[in-house]
Chain A
Amino acid sequence: MNPPRPPGPQAPQSPQGPPAPPHLDDLIARARAALPPPAPPPFAQVMARIDAEGALPGPVRLWRRMSEVRPARRWAAVAATLLAVGGSVSLWGPRGSPSTDPAAPGAIVLEIAPSVRVLREGRPLAPNGTSLIATAGDEVVADGAATLRLGDRTAIELEPRARLRLGGLDAVEMLDGRATFYVRHHPTRSFLVATASVSVIDRGTRFAVEVSADPAGERVLVTVEQGRVEVFPTEVEARPSWELAAGEGLAFVAGKATGAPFALGARPTLSLEAEDVAPARDRPVVVRLVFDNPTDGWLALPAYDPVRAPLHVEVRTPDGGVLAVRVSEAMLVEGGGSGRSLPPRGRLVLRVRFEHTFASPGTYRLRAIYRPAGAVDEGASPELVLPVR
């Protein structure tokens, strides 16, 4: 926590910045002395407003309020409330009281995999077998690919290193990484996924939300496999919203859509390059997998959807055999990390190390095979011929 420098022209300036002309500083000092800035609103006044609005740290408050609204009016009410709060949407409600009673108010029944941790205020909760009673505000961290069941109508496929915060049975906040949501249609309830800058409301569907940090601001990619979702940024004054249908996606950077929704059928092209044109059989072989985005839209990268659409390398060995080597995170020398999307005209290079695949001398033929999320057919790279000494 770094406090600002003391206000006023006497404050030290950046060493990189030349001082203002002295007379300007003098005038500022005289003006400040004559008309000092007014005092800020007292803390009690700020807290009174927070209490009045129920604005507690963290996004479900609004959603809980919306759950009480008649379904026919809910969407309009959500939009209106979002507009009313003026840019900083906090859908996150109060943390529930710690409880082990599934019938307790605010209790969220989770079914979790061993690779999932649930944290309350930074401390892990102990599951009872594969189930766990959580509350709004608890954080879910996936150490590996895992499925999380939330109540009786939502399943969430978490990719490794995905993090989310629970907001109730009908809402989560994606903090980092990628997750795919399977939400069974309900006539009066919908499901909300909020990130810091984008909110997604489903209508009984299957969709994925991917969040990653970017120097330009939070990057969010929303893709829909079944049904429809409504997507809107939360920090833009004029709040446009998009309805995405199955087979469509939309990317945001810092809460702003990077373009129009794009078809998920569009896919990056993939090519293979050998780092050593004639590698030795007794050493690891590094191959570069190059993704190129030839389109003007953002594309999801299939490499990071390991559960349903693995990226693998088909290897034809010198003796005529065929191996399918799945590209795992452990094989990535460079370019790893969950949750990636490819910007327009962008390129991503993954350096993949094979330890034992090329153990015999001879000529190998390689193709990378992948299937983008939402696509039914496979894509493949051109063949790479690799003579191994």
Chain B
Amino acid sequence: MAAVAAGDRAAFELVHGRYAPPIMAFLHHLCFDRGLAEDATQETFVRAWRAASRFRPGARLAPWLYRIAQRAAWTAGAARARRGGRARGEVALGAAGPEAEAPATAARAADAAAGDHEVAAALREALLRLSEALRATFVLVRMEGLSYEDAAEVLEIPLGTVKSRVAAAESHLRSELRGFA
């Protein structure tokens, strides 16, 4: 990041190439809204570029970027909520929007032969029904593969809170998705 702080675009492109896909996946799994996730991903890297000089040597880049991403997501969601708009049919972060407004999945879940698309839709709806805090923690740990310790660093919460949130989210999701054996 020292090179990035000095304005080295090639170095920043390497950072982007390596981290933009998982950051985009994280943000998309927070809101299941492509437009909002793209905006927040772009905002994440713009903020990272601006703040590169404040990146502490020896610190780990991934948690730092995920932390910026989480704040960018919150800002993007809040800005959209202020505008009161869902300009491209998007879902405001932390709220169930059009993409989450399908009927409850229990009936469909009973169908053992449900396709993967139905699984994806059910998981998305179940995630969107979680509180923002539970969802962010679950997505980081269980879907993006961060360790509990890294998730604690990203969310700036104690390790024990990460574990309890993941456990609570799992319990909720197991209940919501019990029909998909």
Contact = CB atoms under 8 A, between A and B. Distances in A.
Q: Do A and B come from one complex?
A: yes
Interface of A: 1-9, 11-14, 16-17, 20-21, 23-25, 27-28, 30-35, 37-41, 43, 45-47, 49-50, 53, 55-58, 86-88, 90, 92, 94-95, 121, 165, 196, 217, 235, 237
B28 interface: yes
A43 B5 contact: no
A334 to B, nearest CB: 25
Interface string B9-34: 10011011111111111001100001
B83 interface: no
B166 interface: yes
* Interface secondary structure of B, over-half rule: helix
Contacts of A2: 60-62
A121 B5 CA distance: 9
A13 B141 contact: yes
Interface in B62-86: 62, 66, 68, 71-72, 74-76, 78-79
A21 B117 contact: no
Given A38-B38, A88-B50, A237 B141 contact: no
B91 interface: no
Contact of A57 (B37, B53, B144): B53
Given A11-B145, A37-B29, A49-B46, A43 B17 contact: yes
A208 B181 CA distance: 63
Nearest to B61: A1
Given A1-B61, A7-B143, A165-B53, 14 more contacts: A1-B15, A4-B66, A11-B145, A21-B170, A30-B119, A40-B41, A41-B38, A45-B42, A55-B50, A57-B52, A88-B50, A88-B51, A90-B51, A196-B51
Given A3-B62, A37-B25, A38-B34, A57 B7 contact: yes
Contact of A37 (B4, B28, B145): B28
A88 B50 CA distance: 8
Contacts of A87: 47, 71-72, 75
A55 B144 contact: no
Contact of A31 (B24, B124, B147, B156): B124
Contact of B144 (A7, A33, A46): A7
Interface residues of B, number: 76
Contact of A16 (B119, B148, B177): B148
A196 B54 contact: yes
B95 interface: no
Contacts of A165: 53
B63 to A, nearest CB: 8
Contacts of A39: 21, 24
Given A4-B19, A4-B145, A95-B7, A24 B170 contact: yes
